[in-house]
Amino acid sequence: MADSAADKANEKVKGAYDASSIQVLEGLESVRKRPGMYIGSTDINGLHHLVYEAVDNSVDEALAGYCTRISIVVNSDGSATVSDNGRGIPFDMMPQFNKTALEVVMTKLHAGGKFDKKSYKVSGGLHGVGVSVVNGLSATMAVEVRRDGKVCRQRYEKGVPVTPVEFVGTATAGESGTTVTFAPDATIFETVDFNFDILSSRLRELAFLNTGLEISIRDERSGKEHSFRYDGGIKSFVGFINQNKKALHDAIYLSGQKNGTSVEAAMQYNESYLPNIFSFVNTINTTEGGTHLSGFRTALTRTINSYAEKHNLLDKDAKISSEDTLEGLSAVIAVKVPEPQFEGQTKRKLGNSEVKGVVDSIVGPSLSAFFEENPKVARAIVEKCANAATAREAARKAKDLVRRKTLFEGSSLPGKLADCSSTNPDECELFIVEGDSAGGSCKQARNREYQAVLPLKGKILNVEKARLHKVFSSKEIVALASAIGTGVGDDFDIKKARYRRTILMCDADVDGSHIRTLLLTFFFRYMKPLIEAGYICIAQPPLYKVTKGRKDYYVYNDAKLAELLQQVGEDGAALQRYKGLGEMNPEQLWSTTMNPGTRALVKVNVDDAVEADKIFTLLMGEEVEPRREFIEQHALEVKNLDV
Ligand code: 0RA
């Protein structure tokens, strides 16, 4: 294997050894040996990281309150210049090193922040390694400091000083700042070609994150330039993210501090459905999120829900989930944490567990206060989230439906089904029985070989009024459809029918009729071919029992009753009106209603599908007025109204 670029570079460094730079080399040698450890990689990302690292030092100076302007220039020779109007790196002697502070900062690892702990409490930079790392990875570097009326300069090659710190001019009174120019070492980096757009977008981000700080970039190779300064900080950031979208309200800005951690959040909903959330820790873009982001999301979800609840803005049982709060949300969460721990694949995820609670406790109350002061905005947000919740629920049901389709296709039979032993559909029939007790008698009465029984508990769902997803979350309907086995709707396949006949067996009272109509509505809407093929029948249990002496007569309609009563003469005959199937014992049920040799069945048919459709809609649908008219028109035809 060929020597790595780093090894080669290291050899050259060794060649440059001399007594005066030994100490320095010992520091920066490791940087050149393992650049990845300091700047992540030696690809284009690592290359740009050099600029960010240099800029971060200037940003730190801005955070300390001394710098208002940072400029970045990509020079025509491909090198980069970063300059700021901060205090300037001090160049007085440090006795313990026998060097100027400037040289120490530029050549010793981690030396940058040691001077001024207080103002550098929160250090920027992914690795926070300091400008010396940039120096170590640059073929050439020059630093120029304006400070105390003087201009000082020093130059380096691969991190090794090649000139002393020289005074090269005078600075105007009050003028100060630091300028570094560096040419990345081509023996270390895969590419040394800076990309203007990549640099620009990170610099814009930094400008958003540092309210009021002016950051400009100019590319001498192409003439392109940008200047960023956002006095609205991350609030402007959110506006920028939403610039081509329809915002639902002005951006909301929340902030606070707790236990040395500062929190800023800006958010604005737009009409789209996609979230666009950026989170930062000490200006580092945490692309993998982390505890600060989860704190924000927890607070957001809780606050929206409690506002909605307090003001009665949600349907009963409706709840907005964390996911629902993300639809169309553009947000920026920026925290400053004293000792951030970064995790994850790319070290872009904040790990500090305490930060979640801090963010939550700052965002929650301040958002809640904002909602109370801005009810219009709060309502718009709740409405947006509630819509998302409805859509999510519908989507879940649709997914569920797909899952249930397989269920319908016979993989699992309902527990309540007492199936028959024959597996030949042509000789099998299914009794759908109203109520568990009648179901029990029916199970005892049946011929187990070819008769199956499925008891249904009370009234099934009115499918005419329910959305698809509701229909298929109804236990009774799922049981019914699974037992029949054909599938429903577009997936219906009569060849999969498990029974040649499905017999509806309901009580002879108003509830029984209602249940029968509900069942027929379901078959008509979801299994119409089953009706068309004549598979659906209605059982005819007797309406009366007439007992004369030791003989029982079962009577199925009023005309027959009158006839019979005349025949046995009325005296001494006992008349029983059956209201429910449960009033018959299993033997009676068998002989009157279930025995194919003696029973009567009514086959359901749809001669006029259009009319049937109209009637089902009329009887079972949403509109009340036409139903009332229908009932009034047909009231006179009703004979066996049982109340
Ligand atoms: C150490 C101490 C002081 C400032 C700086 C470093 C400093 C470093 C960089 C890097 C780029 N720009 C910078 N500006 C300042 C504080 C010096 C003082 O107390 O005046």
- Give the HSE-up count for residue 591: Cα atoms under 13 Å, Cβ half-sphere: 9
Q: Which of 66-70, 188-192, 259-263, 491-495 is predicted least confidently?
A: 491-495
Residue ranges, CATH 3.40.50.670, the chain: 405-541+602-637
Q: Is the pLDDT of residue 411 over 60?
A: no
Q: How far is CA 214 from CA 113, 283, 333, in A?
A: 23, 15, 21
Distance in angstroms (rounded) separating the CA atoms of residues 123 and 102: 19
What pLDDT is stored for residue 10 in this prediction? 42
What pLDDT is stored for residue 356 in this prediction? 98
CA of 88 to the centre of ligand 1 (A): 5
Q: Which of 3-12, 270-279, 357-366, 405-414 is predicted least confidently?
A: 3-12
Question: 16: pLDDT confidence band, cut at 50, 70 and 90?
Answer: very low
pLDDT tens string 471-517:
777 888 888 988 999 887 767 889 999 999 999 999 888 888 889 88
Active-site residue (options: 409, 509, 532, 552): 509
CATH architecture of 405-541+602-637: 3-Layer(aba) Sandwich (3.40)
> Which of 50, 72, 89 to probe ligand 1 with, by most ligand atoms within 8 A of CB?
89
Our answer on whether the CB atom of 148 is closer than 6 Å to any ligand 1 atom is no
Asked if 56 is an active-site residue, the reply is no
What pLDDT is stored for residue 375 in this prediction? 97
pLDDT tens string 100-151:
999 999 998 865 443 443 333 344 444 456 899 999 999 999 999 999 999 9
Name residue 433's beta-bridge partners.
Answer: 455, 505
Q: Is the pLDDT of residue 15 over 80?
A: no
Helix or strand run (H / E) with residue 555: strand 551-555
Q: Which of 19-23, 60-64, 311-315 is predicted least confidently?
A: 19-23
CA angle, residues 408, 413, 415, in degrees to nearest 5: 135
Quick one: average pLDDT of 175-180? 97
What pLDDT is stored for residue 582 in this prediction? 84
What pLDDT is stored for residue 570 in this prediction? 64
Quick one: average pLDDT of 415-422? 92
Question: 451: pLDDT confidence band, cut at 50, 70 and 90?
Answer: very high
Which string of b and e fits 22-44 if b means at least 16 CB within 10 Å?
Answer: eebbebbbebbbebeebbeebeb
Q: Is the pLDDT of residue 17 over 80?
A: no
Tokens of 52: 């960010």
- Please say whether the beta carbons of 238 and 331 come within 8 A: yes
Question: 82: pLDDT confidence band, cut at 50, 70 and 90?
Answer: very high
Active-site residue (options: 220, 288, 383, 511): 511
Q: Is the pLDDT of residue 593 over 90?
A: yes
Q: For tokens 């200006």, name the residue.
A: 283
Q: Does domain 29-228 have CATH number 3.30.565.10?
A: yes
Residue ranges, CATH 3.30.565.10, the chain: 29-228
Asked if 427 is an active-site residue, the reply is no
Q: Is the pLDDT of residue 257 over 90?
A: yes
Our answer on whether the CB atom of 83 is closer than 6 Å to any ligand 1 atom is no
Tokens of 310: 């307090």
Question: 405: pLDDT confidence band, cut at 50, 70 and 90?
Answer: low
> Which of 176, 178, 179 to probe ligand 1 with, by most ligand atoms within 8 A of CB?
178
Our answer on whether the CB atom of 115 is closer than 6 Å to any ligand 1 atom is yes
Residue ranges, CATH 3.30.230.10, the chain: 233-399
- Please say whether the beta carbons of 164 and 154 come within 8 A: yes
Q: Whose CA is nearest to atom 12 of ligand 1?
A: 58
Atom of ligand 1 nearest to the CA of 177: 14
Question: 347: pLDDT confidence band, cut at 50, 70 and 90?
Answer: confident
Our answer on whether the CB atom of 370 is closer than 6 Å to any ligand 1 atom is no
CA of 101 to the centre of ligand 1 (A): 10
Q: Is the pLDDT of residue 208 over 50?
A: yes
- Please say whether the beta carbons of 322 and 304 come within 8 A: no
DSSP string for residues in 504-550 = EE--SSHHHHHHHHHHHHHHHHH-HHHHHTT-EEEE---SEEEEETT
CA of 124 to the centre of ligand 1 (A): 14
Q: Going along 232-360, which residue ranges are E strands?
A: 252-258, 261-269, 276-281, 284-285, 329-336, 342-343, 349-350
What pLDDT is stored for residue 318 in this prediction? 84
Q: Which of 21-35, 95-109, 396-410, 465-479 is predicted least confidently?
A: 396-410
Question: 614: pLDDT confidence band, cut at 50, 70 and 90?
Answer: low
What pLDDT is stored for residue 511 in this prediction? 85
**Of the ranges 106-120, 292-306, 338-352, 423-437, which is most confident?**
292-306
Taking the mean position of all CA atoms in its chain, how far away is CA 94? 55
Average pLDDT, rounded, for the chain: 86
Q: Which of 91-100, 122-131, 287-296, 564-573 is predicted least confidently?
A: 122-131
Quick one: average pLDDT of 69-74? 98
pLDDT tens string 189-206:
999 999 998 899 899 999
Quick one: average pLDDT of 599-616? 73
Task: For residue 102, give the nearest of 120, 90, 119 by alpha carbon.
Answer: 90
Percentage of the chain with pLDDT > 90?
A: 55
CA of 86 to the centre of ligand 1 (A): 7
- Please say whether the beta carbons of 88 and 144 come within 8 A: no
Q: Is the pLDDT of residue 382 over 90?
A: yes
Distance in angstroms (rounded) separating the CA atoms of residues 383 and 567: 72
What pLDDT is stored for residue 32 in this prediction? 94
Higher-pLDDT residue of 3, 553: 553
Atom of ligand 1 nearest to the CA of 101: 1
Our answer on whether the CB atom of 85 is closer than 6 Å to any ligand 1 atom is no
Taking the mean position of all CA atoms in its chain, how far away is CA 547? 69
Asked if 507 is an active-site residue, the reply is yes
Task: For residue 219, give the nearest of 189, 205, 199 by alpha carbon.
Answer: 199
Higher-pLDDT residue of 530, 607: 530
- Please say whether the beta carbons of 137 and 53 come within 8 A: no
pTM: 0.62
Asked if 434 is an active-site residue, the reply is yes
- Give the HSE-up count for residue 51: Cα atoms under 13 Å, Cβ half-sphere: 28
What pLDDT is stored for residue 388 in this prediction? 86
CATH architecture of 233-399: 2-Layer Sandwich (3.30)
Task: For residue 233, give the nearest of 253, 205, 208, 201 by alpha carbon.
Answer: 208
Q: Is the pLDDT of residue 372 over 60?
A: yes
Our answer on whether the CB atom of 542 is closer than 6 Å to any ligand 1 atom is no
Q: Whose CA is nearest to atom 13 of ligand 1?
A: 58
